[in-house]
Amino acid sequence: MKTYRNLFNNLSEKTPPQGLCLSIIKKVRSIQSRNAKIRFTLSSIVTLVSLGGIFESILKLIESSNQSGFSQYFSLIFSDSTLFFSYWKEFGLSLVESLPLVSLVFLLGIVVVFLWSGARALKDARRTFLPA
Amino acid sequence: MENDDIILIEKSLEGDTSAFEILVSRYLKHIYNFVYHLSGNVDEANDISQEVFVKVWKNLKKFDPEQNFKTWLFSIARNTTIDYFRKKKSISFGDMEIGESTSFEDSLTDEEPLPDEIFERKELGTFLEKALETLPLEGRTIILLHDKEDLTFEEISKILKKPMNTVKSQYRRAILAFRKTMNAPK
Protein backbone atom coordinates (compact mmCIF):
# COMPACT_ATOMS: atom_id res chain seq x y z
CA MET A 1 0.00 0.00 0.00
CA LYS A 2 1.52 3.27 -1.15
CA THR A 3 0.74 6.28 0.99
CA TYR A 4 1.62 9.97 1.10
CA ARG A 5 4.76 9.01 3.03
CA ASN A 6 5.88 6.92 0.05
CA LEU A 7 4.92 9.76 -2.30
CA PHE A 8 6.85 12.48 -0.52
CA ASN A 9 9.93 10.28 -0.34
CA ASN A 10 10.15 11.11 -4.07
CA LEU A 11 10.54 14.80 -3.24
CA SER A 12 13.80 16.05 -4.72
CA GLU A 13 16.65 15.74 -2.23
CA LYS A 14 18.96 18.71 -2.24
CA THR A 15 22.56 18.27 -1.19
CA PRO A 16 23.78 21.14 0.98
CA PRO A 17 26.62 23.08 -0.68
CA GLN A 18 30.12 21.77 -0.02
CA GLY A 19 31.29 24.48 2.37
CA LEU A 20 28.09 24.97 4.38
CA CYS A 21 29.04 22.69 7.30
CA LEU A 22 32.48 24.30 7.50
CA SER A 23 30.95 27.75 7.32
CA ILE A 24 28.65 26.91 10.27
CA ILE A 25 31.58 25.63 12.38
CA LYS A 26 33.64 28.71 11.46
CA LYS A 27 30.81 30.97 12.64
CA VAL A 28 30.48 29.00 15.90
CA ARG A 29 34.26 29.20 16.49
CA SER A 30 34.28 32.93 15.83
CA ILE A 31 31.47 33.45 18.37
CA GLN A 32 33.35 31.20 20.86
CA SER A 33 36.54 33.20 20.32
CA ARG A 34 34.73 36.56 20.70
CA ASN A 35 33.06 35.38 23.92
CA ALA A 36 36.40 34.09 25.24
CA LYS A 37 38.01 37.49 24.51
CA ILE A 38 35.24 39.30 26.40
CA ARG A 39 35.50 36.88 29.36
CA PHE A 40 39.31 37.15 29.33
CA THR A 41 39.13 40.95 29.47
CA LEU A 42 36.61 40.90 32.31
CA SER A 43 38.37 38.22 34.35
CA SER A 44 41.77 39.97 33.86
CA ILE A 45 40.29 43.19 35.21
CA VAL A 46 38.78 41.37 38.19
CA THR A 47 42.14 39.58 38.82
CA LEU A 48 44.08 42.86 38.80
CA VAL A 49 41.54 44.66 40.97
CA SER A 50 41.44 41.76 43.45
CA LEU A 51 45.27 41.72 43.56
CA GLY A 52 45.20 45.37 44.53
CA GLY A 53 42.45 44.48 47.00
CA ILE A 54 44.67 41.79 48.56
CA PHE A 55 47.43 44.33 49.32
CA GLU A 56 44.91 46.77 50.78
CA SER A 57 43.31 44.00 52.86
CA ILE A 58 46.69 42.87 54.23
CA LEU A 59 47.46 46.45 55.29
CA LYS A 60 43.99 46.74 56.85
CA LEU A 61 44.46 43.39 58.62
CA ILE A 62 47.81 44.52 60.10
CA GLU A 63 46.23 47.82 61.24
CA SER A 64 43.24 46.01 62.79
CA SER A 65 45.55 43.49 64.48
CA ASN A 66 47.55 46.31 66.04
CA GLN A 67 44.42 48.15 67.17
CA SER A 68 42.79 45.07 68.72
CA GLY A 69 46.05 43.93 70.37
CA PHE A 70 46.15 40.65 68.43
CA SER A 71 49.64 41.29 67.05
CA GLN A 72 50.99 42.04 70.53
CA TYR A 73 49.46 38.84 71.96
CA PHE A 74 50.70 36.86 68.97
CA SER A 75 54.26 38.20 69.21
CA LEU A 76 54.38 37.10 72.87
CA ILE A 77 54.30 33.44 71.70
CA PHE A 78 57.74 33.96 70.16
CA SER A 79 59.21 36.54 72.56
CA ASP A 80 58.14 34.85 75.83
CA SER A 81 57.10 31.25 75.12
CA THR A 82 57.27 30.13 78.80
CA LEU A 83 54.58 32.67 79.69
CA PHE A 84 52.50 31.44 76.76
CA PHE A 85 52.71 27.75 77.80
CA SER A 86 51.98 28.61 81.49
CA TYR A 87 48.80 30.53 80.69
CA TRP A 88 47.93 28.98 77.34
CA LYS A 89 44.16 28.78 78.07
CA GLU A 90 43.73 32.45 78.99
CA PHE A 91 46.19 33.37 76.29
CA GLY A 92 44.25 31.39 73.69
CA LEU A 93 41.01 33.14 74.72
CA SER A 94 42.64 36.56 74.43
CA LEU A 95 43.96 35.68 70.98
CA VAL A 96 40.52 34.59 69.81
CA GLU A 97 38.80 37.65 71.28
CA SER A 98 41.24 40.08 69.70
CA LEU A 99 41.23 38.36 66.29
CA PRO A 100 40.33 40.95 63.62
CA LEU A 101 37.66 38.66 62.17
CA VAL A 102 36.08 41.07 59.73
CA SER A 103 39.38 42.04 58.10
CA LEU A 104 40.44 38.38 57.99
CA VAL A 105 37.21 37.23 56.33
CA PHE A 106 37.46 40.10 53.86
CA LEU A 107 41.05 39.15 53.00
CA LEU A 108 40.12 35.49 52.52
CA GLY A 109 37.19 36.52 50.30
CA ILE A 110 39.41 38.69 48.12
CA VAL A 111 41.99 35.89 47.84
CA VAL A 112 39.24 33.46 46.68
CA VAL A 113 38.04 36.01 44.09
CA PHE A 114 41.65 36.52 42.92
CA LEU A 115 42.28 32.79 42.54
CA TRP A 116 38.93 32.14 40.79
CA SER A 117 39.24 35.07 38.35
CA GLY A 118 42.92 34.25 37.73
CA ALA A 119 42.03 30.66 36.82
CA ARG A 120 39.24 31.88 34.49
CA ALA A 121 41.57 34.44 32.87
CA LEU A 122 44.13 31.67 32.19
CA LYS A 123 41.46 29.38 30.72
CA ASP A 124 40.05 32.15 28.49
CA ALA A 125 43.57 33.28 27.50
CA ARG A 126 44.18 29.75 26.22
CA ARG A 127 40.93 29.88 24.19
CA THR A 128 41.70 33.36 22.88
CA PHE A 129 45.39 33.04 22.00
CA LEU A 130 45.61 29.30 21.35
CA PRO A 131 42.31 28.43 19.66
CA ALA A 132 41.66 24.74 18.82
CA MET B 1 21.47 7.35 17.46
CA GLU B 2 19.72 9.20 20.33
CA ASN B 3 22.37 8.21 22.93
CA ASP B 4 25.07 9.33 20.49
CA ASP B 5 23.32 12.68 20.16
CA ILE B 6 23.30 13.15 23.95
CA ILE B 7 27.03 12.31 24.16
CA LEU B 8 27.82 14.74 21.35
CA ILE B 9 25.71 17.45 23.00
CA GLU B 10 27.51 16.95 26.33
CA LYS B 11 30.91 17.20 24.61
CA SER B 12 29.78 20.31 22.69
CA LEU B 13 28.74 21.93 25.97
CA GLU B 14 32.26 21.29 27.28
CA GLY B 15 33.58 23.34 24.34
CA ASP B 16 34.41 20.47 21.95
CA THR B 17 33.66 21.99 18.54
CA SER B 18 34.49 18.77 16.70
CA ALA B 19 31.64 17.03 18.55
CA PHE B 20 29.30 19.81 17.43
CA GLU B 21 30.62 19.41 13.89
CA ILE B 22 29.58 15.73 13.92
CA LEU B 23 26.12 16.75 15.13
CA VAL B 24 25.85 19.32 12.33
CA SER B 25 26.95 16.91 9.61
CA ARG B 26 24.44 14.33 10.93
CA TYR B 27 21.44 16.62 10.62
CA LEU B 28 22.47 19.24 8.05
CA LYS B 29 20.95 17.47 5.03
CA HIS B 30 17.59 17.00 6.83
CA ILE B 31 17.44 20.62 7.98
CA TYR B 32 18.68 21.97 4.67
CA ASN B 33 16.02 20.06 2.72
CA PHE B 34 13.29 21.00 5.19
CA VAL B 35 14.21 24.68 4.97
CA TYR B 36 14.67 24.52 1.19
CA HIS B 37 11.19 23.06 0.67
CA LEU B 38 9.73 25.79 2.89
CA SER B 39 11.55 28.66 1.21
CA GLY B 40 11.93 27.30 -2.35
CA ASN B 41 15.23 29.14 -2.65
CA VAL B 42 18.78 27.75 -2.42
CA ASP B 43 20.41 30.96 -1.12
CA GLU B 44 17.77 31.38 1.56
CA ALA B 45 18.11 27.72 2.52
CA ASN B 46 21.89 28.27 2.98
CA ASP B 47 21.38 31.35 5.16
CA ILE B 48 18.58 29.86 7.23
CA SER B 49 20.39 26.52 7.75
CA GLN B 50 23.44 28.39 9.03
CA GLU B 51 21.29 30.47 11.39
CA VAL B 52 19.53 27.32 12.65
CA PHE B 53 22.73 25.56 13.69
CA VAL B 54 24.25 28.69 15.24
CA LYS B 55 21.03 29.04 17.30
CA VAL B 56 21.23 25.36 18.21
CA TRP B 57 24.80 25.84 19.48
CA LYS B 58 23.87 28.97 21.44
CA ASN B 59 20.88 27.22 23.07
CA LEU B 60 22.40 23.78 23.72
CA LYS B 61 22.44 24.55 27.45
CA LYS B 62 18.64 24.82 27.35
CA PHE B 63 18.17 21.43 25.67
CA ASP B 64 16.41 18.94 27.94
CA PRO B 65 18.02 15.48 27.48
CA GLU B 66 14.58 13.89 28.16
CA GLN B 67 13.41 15.47 24.90
CA ASN B 68 13.99 14.09 21.42
CA PHE B 69 16.85 16.09 19.86
CA LYS B 70 15.43 15.84 16.33
CA THR B 71 12.10 17.33 17.49
CA TRP B 72 13.91 20.19 19.25
CA LEU B 73 16.10 20.79 16.20
CA PHE B 74 13.14 20.98 13.81
CA SER B 75 11.36 23.30 16.22
CA ILE B 76 14.31 25.73 15.96
CA ALA B 77 14.44 25.26 12.18
CA ARG B 78 10.75 26.05 11.76
CA ASN B 79 10.86 29.13 14.03
CA THR B 80 14.05 30.43 12.38
CA THR B 81 12.47 30.07 8.94
CA ILE B 82 9.36 32.00 10.01
CA ASP B 83 11.48 34.75 11.63
CA TYR B 84 13.57 34.97 8.46
CA PHE B 85 10.48 35.42 6.30
CA ARG B 86 8.96 37.92 8.73
CA LYS B 87 12.16 40.02 8.62
CA LYS B 88 11.99 39.95 4.84
CA LYS B 89 8.25 40.71 5.18
CA SER B 90 7.64 38.08 2.55
CA ILE B 91 4.82 36.43 4.49
CA SER B 92 1.71 37.63 6.26
CA PHE B 93 -0.24 35.82 8.96
CA GLY B 94 -2.75 34.68 6.34
CA ASP B 95 -0.01 32.93 4.35
CA MET B 96 0.92 30.90 7.40
CA GLU B 97 -2.31 29.34 8.59
CA ILE B 98 -4.25 26.66 6.82
CA GLY B 99 -7.57 27.43 8.54
CA GLU B 100 -10.21 25.29 10.21
CA SER B 101 -11.13 21.89 8.80
CA THR B 102 -14.53 20.59 7.74
CA SER B 103 -16.10 17.30 8.83
CA PHE B 104 -15.28 15.81 5.39
CA GLU B 105 -11.60 16.59 5.84
CA ASP B 106 -11.71 15.12 9.35
CA SER B 107 -13.03 11.89 7.89
CA LEU B 108 -9.95 11.41 5.70
CA THR B 109 -7.60 8.80 7.05
CA ASP B 110 -3.93 9.58 7.66
CA GLU B 111 -2.61 6.59 5.77
CA GLU B 112 -4.80 6.71 2.68
CA PRO B 113 -3.57 4.42 -0.12
CA LEU B 114 -2.65 6.15 -3.35
CA PRO B 115 -3.07 4.85 -6.88
CA ASP B 116 0.09 3.66 -8.62
CA GLU B 117 -0.28 6.09 -11.52
CA ILE B 118 0.64 8.99 -9.24
CA PHE B 119 4.03 7.40 -8.68
CA GLU B 120 4.51 6.85 -12.42
CA ARG B 121 4.22 10.55 -13.12
CA LYS B 122 7.08 12.08 -15.09
CA GLU B 123 9.56 14.18 -13.10
CA LEU B 124 7.66 13.36 -9.95
CA GLY B 125 10.19 15.04 -7.65
CA THR B 126 9.92 18.40 -9.40
CA PHE B 127 6.12 18.12 -9.62
CA LEU B 128 5.86 17.43 -5.88
CA GLU B 129 8.11 20.42 -5.15
CA LYS B 130 5.94 22.75 -7.25
CA ALA B 131 2.72 21.35 -5.77
CA LEU B 132 4.07 21.84 -2.25
CA GLU B 133 4.88 25.49 -3.00
CA THR B 134 1.20 26.19 -3.61
CA LEU B 135 0.34 25.29 -0.01
CA PRO B 136 0.44 27.76 2.93
CA LEU B 137 3.59 27.57 5.02
CA GLU B 138 1.95 25.74 7.94
CA GLY B 139 0.52 23.01 5.69
CA ARG B 140 3.85 22.56 3.95
CA THR B 141 5.58 22.33 7.32
CA ILE B 142 3.26 19.60 8.60
CA ILE B 143 3.47 17.54 5.41
CA LEU B 144 7.29 17.75 5.34
CA LEU B 145 7.62 16.83 9.01
CA HIS B 146 5.10 13.96 8.82
CA ASP B 147 5.68 12.48 5.38
CA LYS B 148 9.31 13.35 4.69
CA GLU B 149 10.90 13.37 8.13
CA ASP B 150 8.64 10.59 9.54
CA LEU B 151 7.76 12.51 12.68
CA THR B 152 4.59 11.54 14.53
CA PHE B 153 1.70 13.96 15.00
CA GLU B 154 2.60 14.10 18.69
CA GLU B 155 6.15 15.23 17.85
CA ILE B 156 4.83 17.74 15.31
CA SER B 157 2.39 19.15 17.86
CA LYS B 158 5.37 19.81 20.19
CA ILE B 159 7.24 21.56 17.37
CA LEU B 160 4.28 23.73 16.38
CA LYS B 161 3.06 24.13 20.00
CA LYS B 162 -0.47 23.19 18.94
CA PRO B 163 -2.86 20.48 20.14
CA MET B 164 -2.40 17.18 18.33
CA ASN B 165 -5.95 17.17 16.94
CA THR B 166 -5.36 20.62 15.43
CA VAL B 167 -2.20 19.34 13.76
CA LYS B 168 -4.07 16.30 12.40
CA SER B 169 -6.87 18.52 11.03
CA GLN B 170 -4.38 20.87 9.43
CA TYR B 171 -2.54 17.93 7.91
CA ARG B 172 -5.73 16.58 6.37
CA ARG B 173 -6.62 20.00 5.00
CA ALA B 174 -3.13 20.37 3.52
CA ILE B 175 -3.40 16.93 1.90
CA LEU B 176 -6.76 17.86 0.42
CA ALA B 177 -5.33 21.08 -1.04
CA PHE B 178 -2.38 19.09 -2.34
CA ARG B 179 -4.71 16.57 -4.01
CA LYS B 180 -6.57 19.38 -5.77
CA THR B 181 -3.24 20.57 -7.19
CA MET B 182 -2.35 17.02 -8.24
CA ASN B 183 -5.68 16.51 -9.97
CA ALA B 184 -5.70 19.93 -11.64
CA PRO B 185 -5.46 19.80 -15.44
CA LYS B 186 -1.82 20.14 -16.62
Distance CA B57, CA A65 (A): 53
What is the longest distance spanned by two Cα atoms in chain B? Answer: 57
Tell the CATH topology of B95-183: Arc Repressor Mutant, subunit A (1.10.10)
Give pLDDT tens digits for B56-90.
Answer: 999 999 999 888 999 999 999 999 999 998 888 66
Q: Are A32 and B15 in contact (CB under 8 A)?
A: yes
Per-residue pLDDT at B105 = 47
Phi and psi for B152 in degrees, rounded to 5? -80, 165
Q: Which residues of B48-60 are buried (b: 16+ CB within 10 A; e: fewer)?
A: bbbbbbebbbeeb
**CA-wise closest residue to A9 among B3, B148, B142:** B148
Domain ranges of chain B: 2-88, 95-183
B144 contacts A14? CB cut-off 8 A: no
Selecting from B32, B147, B150 the residue whose C-beta is nearest the C-beta of A14 gives: B32
Residues in chain A with CB shorter than 8 Å from the CB of B36 are 14
Architecture of domain B2-88: Orthogonal Bundle (1.10)
**CA-wise closest residue to B79 among B13, B161, B172:** B161
How remote is the C-alpha of A97 from its chain's centroid?
Answer: 31
Is the CB of B79 inside 8 Å of chain A's CB atoms? Answer: no
End-to-end CA distance of chain B: 43
Give pLDDT tens digits for B92-101.
Answer: 555 555 555 4
Q: Give all strands (DSSP E) within chain B, no chain letters.
A: none
A12 contacts B116? CB cut-off 8 A: no
pLDDT of B166 higher than 90: yes
Q: Are B140 and B37 in contact (CB under 8 A)?
A: yes
DSSP A54-91: HHHHHHHHHHHHHHHTHHHHHHHHHH-HHHHHHTHHHH
Q: Which residues contact A30 (CB under 8 A, 6 or more apart)?
A: none
Is the CB of A19 inside 8 Å of chain B's CB atoms? Answer: no
Q: Are A1 and B30 in contact (CB under 8 A)?
A: no
Instruction: Tell me the pLDDT band of A38, cut-offs 50, 70 and 90.
Output: very high
Per-residue pLDDT at B88 = 80
How remote is the C-alpha of B165 from its chain's centroid?
Answer: 18
Q: H or E element: which one contains B142?
A: helix B137-143
Give pLDDT tens digits for B18-51.
Answer: 999 999 999 999 999 999 999 988 999 999 999 9
